[in-house]
Amino acid sequence: MPEPPRITLRRAVSTAAAGTASEQDFFARLERAGVLVRKRFSARNSGEVTGYAVALPHDTTVAGAPVWFGGGKLAADLTLPKLRCRWQATGPRPGDRFTAAERAAIWEHAARTAAGAAEQIRNLTATDPAVAADAAWAAADTLHAAAAALGSRVLRQAADSYDRAARAPYGRIPAPGQPGNNLRRTARLLSTLTSVEADAPLAEMMLLIRFARLAEAVADLREAQRLAAHAAAARSAAEYLYAAMPGHPSPAPRRRARGPGVECSRLEFPSPPGMRRTEADPLTGAHKAAQRGASPSSDPRTSSRRGLRA
């Protein structure tokens, strides 16, 4: 069954954005990939591009017109202004001709960057979650670039699953940090590898375990931020990667410990907006429920009032 055009376009746009440093290169990559591009121009400043829409040649209406999707309809972080913020965070990308030894060095660098980002995200989750969130967002670029360079179905599925985990809530763009910039530069470096058939088996195996651990670190970050859907997307991406490793068992599902320490840590976070304390706090809620179920005679205040009336 063919995948929906929106999913195909989102992957194509994400891959093009990950491998470029300018909008000219971005639009050129989309056109080379066979994607139709329609730019939106400013009504005030002639020639200024303010947005874009993309379509697939075979996806048309009954009248034969292309079905267009704006960048914001594909994902909140794929609008042109937000892509420009992403491109400004890192410098120009390198050339695209490498020897076999240089390609091997690029794959090793990508694996080291992913491993380092996983460790930094774990360390920053408690101390600087904003920088950790930026690294989580940038990891999507690296996954998409690696999947495109290797032609890897497994990495492509993992990247698609991970996309939800990468997005900041409400479409916010995290401020760029060093771990995130390292991942973006790696994504652009990977995007320059155009002929890697001979590299694919070894390079893919090198990256699978690194990206799986990176996805797990992001899942822990999202759980700490109470973003359940984002955490589930990251764990799903990790499962794709672990499943592709021959002889490497997938990690057992983690169970959250229960006990006074866990309950106390939960109480340190504020309740969601609009939720009463008794609903958010299981300890207080249970206490109130016990009070509501208690008989009137068991309430000492009621007994004292009855004694006065008698």
Taking only the tens place, the pLDDT of each residue in 293-310 is 444 444 444 444 444 444
Largest CA distance in the chain: 100
Task: Please report the pLDDT score of residue 83 as a whole number.
Answer: 87
Count CB neighbours of 284 within 10 A. Answer: 14
- What mean pLDDT is predicted for residues 164-190? 85
Contact 251/237 with Cβ under 8 angstroms? no
The region of weakest confidence among 11-20, 225-234, 258-267 is: 258-267
- What mean pLDDT is predicted for residues 219-240? 92
Count CB neighbours of 2 within 10 A. Answer: 7
- What mean pLDDT is predicted for residues 88-108? 67
Confidence bin at 121 (pLDDT 50/70/90): very high
Side chain identity at residue 248, one-letter code: H
Confidence bin at 1 (pLDDT 50/70/90): low
Count CB neighbours of 168 within 10 A. Answer: 18
Residue 256 has pLDDT above 80, yes or no: no
Q: Which 3 state secondary structure label does DSSP give 58?
A: coil
What are the DSSP E strand ranges found in the chain?
A: 36-41, 49-55, 69-70
- What mean pLDDT is predicted for residues 48-67? 92
Arithmetic mean of pLDDT over the chain: 76
The region of weakest confidence among 96-105, 239-248, 262-271, 283-292 is: 262-271
Smallest Cα–Cα separation from 200: which of 230, 170, 159, 244? 244
Distance CA 84, CA 86 (A): 5
The residues, any chain, with a CB within 8 Å of residue 169's CB and separated by 6 or more, are: 227
Distance CA 95, CA 195 (A): 14
- What mean pLDDT is predicted for residues 190-197? 67
Contact 86/184 with Cβ under 8 angstroms? yes
Strand 49-55 to 69-70 pairing:
antiparallel
Confidence bin at 25 (pLDDT 50/70/90): confident
Confidence bin at 90 (pLDDT 50/70/90): low
The residues, any chain, with a CB within 8 Å of residue 249's CB and separated by 6 or more, are: 242
Task: Please report the pLDDT score of residue 123 as a whole number.
Answer: 93
Percent above pLDDT 90 for the chain: 31
Contact 146/155 with Cβ under 8 angstroms? yes
